[in-house]
Amino acid sequence: MEQDIIQLLPDAIANQIAAGEVVQRPASVVKELMENALDAEAKSVEVWIEEAGKQLIQVIDDGKGMSEIDARMCFERHATSKIRQTEDLFRIYTMGFRGEALASIAAVAQVNLKTRRASEELGTAVQIDASQLVNHERVQSALGTTVSVKNLFFNVPARRKFLKSNAVEMRHIIEQFQRIALAYPECDFKLYHNQQEIFNLVSGKLGQRIVGIFGKNYRKQLVPCQEDTPLLRLEGYVGSPEKARKTRGEQFFFVNKRYIKHPYLHHAVSNAFEGLIAEDQHPFYAINLEIDPQHIDVNIHPTKTEVKFEDERSMYAIIQSAVRKCLSVHNFRPSLDFEVDVNYDPMPNAQKAIDENALYPGQSDGDKTPFSGGFKPEKDSRQQHNLQNWEQLYEGLKQSTPEFEPTSSGRIESRANQPLSMQSQEKRKALQLHQQYILSPVKSGLMLIDQRAAQERILYDRYIKALDRQQQASAQRLLFPVEIELPPADFALILDMSDEIHNLGFVFDIKEDQRKLVLQAIPANVGQEQERELFEGFLEQFKHYQSNLSLEQPQILARSLAKRASSRLRVGLSSEEMQHLIDQLFASSNPNYSPDGKPIVVMLSLDTIKEFFNK
């Protein structure tokens, strides 16, 4: 008889497996430790980061601390002080409750814990390396708890290798930090990276917290929103419609202070803005919903940004009407007194940039930038290749309309039936419709081109090429440099990609200490005005596309800029410009579809046209 083969996993391994879910990157550790601090009723939380958390993540709180035994127990899996019985699962007001975080973190790092309760004179220090207890002693210690996580993933090389650049990891950390700081405006928060202060947020009202995080510009655009119903209490701010942005990103829902993602409730807010903002725009909002935990199921995923509600339809209705109401009040009283409500001067220090050594891969070198005027259509092998594709596509159409067979030379002679052939020196006829579409008669019927999609495709190809070759696409110098101040997360993002952005044609200097870019040049052929809007729009678009995990960074960059730039191009085209556009389109990598997959060209065949006339 064969032996039984199933065994229980040793704890260290089980913890490491659990860590795979809970601890994805340094930012996950920051989130868990900050949440623990707040669960322990801390009023002040300091986060110290070294090397984007790869070397050190330290969270210092002034919360209630732990006893000597608890200081050891908290590293056991499923060890929690927050629930004791099943019913407690439906009374959860704390951030944590699974008792998994510390055990998981300690399985994949070296963790030092120091903690003291108010009732005790001595505190406790515990050190755990990869789930192994190394030290446990009574020590002098400040009130509250300090957890230091060193060398994350040191014993899981595959995970450590998988970590992204410091700038990217730091951006995730800032994102987590911001979410938590937004949910707890009544607490002080500080964030340091490599000893440099990034945020210093003083306790206050939510409006002040928003301004502290996102900058002074937000002061004027916040519309307070409040609603009290038996099902839920809603409180927060929405951005005024005039300030809505093109892409998503600064939308925050909290349920009992827990940040959540909830597309359905998000829709309720968007819907309330209907008619006030363009369809492709997204309003800022930071809204906390207080709701009895028994109507919620947070126990869905360890990272817990998803929750289920018992009565989502009613919640939808309440949220929508609350937002509508506050917006209509705002409309009648556009000068609502925000200064009083949000009267707050962000700390000058909060403007400080993220450490340059860690985040700054080298400044774009303005000197070596070739500034050239217009774009010259290039002929390269790819272009030739595509021409053939188009000829083939055309031939396919030809067969369906045999009466338009080309002559033996392969050329079409009749002027009325203009060929698509690029060899032809003859101008193709084209007509512009509503400054949006180009109509061009071709041999097999009528070709309809979506002008903007075509421009987007052409620009996309150009930018991809520039990124591939690491050569700058042509740029146009600005008469007056434009200063752009960025929030910390965006600034880190730009620093991380400054070489690539430079290759797209943006030339800028960086004022590290003020978190500012000084734009000197922008990509050529994208229209002259509103450089700031182009850059900011590009950045927003980038952040939007970034959530699409199937895209590589160059694709995201090229797509973002192509989308933004094509929306700015002049809409009225001369017939030469239309010709040029068609030529460039046919020479592109995919004339049929825009980078987003929208059709660019539609053929109206002669057969279809005949059908219109019952022929």
Binding site for ligand ADP (CB under 6 A): 32, 36-37, 39-40, 61, 63-66, 74, 79-82, 96-103, 145
**Residue among 23 and 565 whose Cβ is closer to ligand ADP:** 23
Residue with tokens 């008469």: 479
Minimum CB separation from ligand ADP for residue 94, in Å? 7
Compute and round to an integer the Cα radius of gyration of the chain: 29
Closest by CA to 568, choosing from 535, 608, 610, is: 535
Helix (H, G, I), strand (E, B) or coil at 450: strand
**Residue among 76 and 483 whose Cβ is closer to ligand ADP:** 76
Residue 82's binding partner out of ligand ADP, Mg ion, none, with CB under 5 to 8 Å set by partner kind: ligand ADP
**Residue among 22 and 326 whose Cβ is closer to Mg ion:** 22
Q: Judge contact between 551 and 257, C-beta under 8 A.
A: no
**Residue among 101 and 244 whose Cβ is closer to ligand ADP:** 101
**Residue among 98 and 246 whose Cβ is closer to ligand ADP:** 98
Helix (H, G, I), strand (E, B) or coil at 331: helix
Minimum CB separation from Mg ion for residue 36, in Å? 4
Handedness of CA 344, 348, 349, 353 (dihedral sign): positive
Minimum CB separation from ligand ADP for residue 120, in Å? 13
Residue numbers 409-438 binding Mg ion by CB under 5 A? none
Longest dimension (CA), the chain: 101
The answer for residues whose C-beta is within 8 angstroms of residue 399's C-beta and 6 or more apart is none
Residue 311: DSSP 8-state: -
- From 29-37, 240-248, 265-273, 469-477, give the range in contact with Mg ion by CB under 5 A: 29-37
Minimum CB separation from ligand ADP for residue 156, in Å? 19
- Tell me: does residue 584 bind Mg ion (CB under 5 A): no
| Phi then psi dihedrals of residue 557, to 5 deg | -60, -50
The residue at minimum Cβ distance from ligand ADP is 96
- d(C-alpha 319, C-alpha 317), whole Å: 6
Minimum CB separation from ligand ADP for residue 45, in Å? 9
Residue 40's binding partner out of ligand ADP, Mg ion, none, with CB under 5 to 8 Å set by partner kind: ligand ADP
Residue numbers 366-405 binding Mg ion by CB under 5 A? none
What's the token pair of residue 279? 């369809």
**Residue among 39 and 540 whose Cβ is closer to ligand ADP:** 39
- d(C-alpha 300, C-alpha 442), whole Å: 57
Instruction: Estimate the crossing angle of helix 451-469 against helix 553-566, to 10 degrees.
Output: 140
The residue at minimum Cβ distance from Mg ion is 96
| Phi then psi dihedrals of residue 276, to 5 deg | -100, -25
Side-by-side strand order, sheet with 285-291? 222-228, 232-239, 285-291, 251-255, 258-260
**Residue among 63 and 96 whose Cβ is closer to Mg ion:** 96
**Residue among 18 and 475 whose Cβ is closer to Mg ion:** 18
- In one-letter notation, the amino acid at residue 431 is L
Minimum CB separation from ligand ADP for residue 488, in Å? 25
**Residue among 35 and 496 whose Cβ is closer to Mg ion:** 35
- In one-letter notation, the amino acid at residue 104 is S
- d(C-alpha 203, C-alpha 153), whole Å: 34
**Residue among 34 and 420 whose Cβ is closer to Mg ion:** 34
Minimum CB separation from Mg ion for residue 21, in Å? 14
Among 15, 36, 320, 432, binds Mg ion (CB under 5 A): 36
**Residue among 32 and 51 whose Cβ is closer to Mg ion:** 32
Minimum CB separation from ligand ADP for residue 37, in Å? 5
Residue numbers 89-128 binding Mg ion by CB under 5 A? 96, 101
Minimum CB separation from ligand ADP for residue 497, in Å? 34
Residue 523's binding partner out of Mg ion, ligand ADP, none, with CB under 5 to 8 Å set by partner kind: none
Q: Judge contact between 496 and 361, C-beta under 8 A.
A: yes
Minimum CB separation from ligand ADP for residue 144, in Å? 7
Residue 99's binding partner out of Mg ion, ligand ADP, none, with CB under 5 to 8 Å set by partner kind: ligand ADP
Residue 37's binding partner out of ligand ADP, Mg ion, none, with CB under 5 to 8 Å set by partner kind: ligand ADP
The length of the chain in residues reads 615
Residue with tokens 């030469």: 576
Minimum CB separation from ligand ADP for residue 101, in Å? 3
Closest by CA to 210, choosing from 56, 343, 73, 121, is: 343
Residue 376: DSSP 8-state: P
Footprint on this chain of Mg ion (rule: CB under 5 A): 36, 96, 101
